[in-house]
């Protein structure tokens, strides 16, 4: 599946869209500046917690950075 089909807009000052590939456990994060990062090996419950967090950016910083492997792909 094309990652763009997975992306959904979110309400956040720093993040524009999120997506999740269940089969590969990859989270897609499109920032407001247009950059796209992937986070690898993320369980579905962790993605759901990110998506539903009161502050998506804070949750990402606290619970994803230095926990899951990530890379910029765009």
Residue 1 has pLDDT above 80, yes or no: no
Residue 72 has pLDDT above 90, yes or no: yes
Q: Cα separation of 41 and 14, whole Å? A: 23
Q: Are 56 and 44 in contact (CB under 8 A)?
A: no
- 2: confidence class by pLDDT, cuts 50, 70, 90: confident
Helix axes 56-63, 44-52, angle to 10 degrees: 140
**Host domain of residue 15:** 3-72
* Helix H or strand E segment including 44: helix 44-52
List pLDDT tens digits, range 6-49: 999 999 999 999 999 999 999 999 999 999 999 999 999 999 99
Contacts of 44 (CB under 8 A, 6+ apart): 20, 22, 25
Number of domains in the chain: 1
């Amino acid at each position: 599946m094309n990652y763009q089909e997975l992306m959904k807009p979110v309400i956040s000052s720093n993040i524009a869209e999120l997506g999740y590939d269940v089969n590969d456990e990859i989270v897609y994060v499109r920032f407001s500046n247009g950059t796209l990062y992937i986070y690898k090996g993320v369980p579905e419950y962790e993605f759901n917690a990110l998506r539903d967090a009161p502050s998506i950016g804070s949750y990402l910083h606290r619970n994803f950075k230095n926990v899951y492997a990530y890379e910029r792909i765009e």
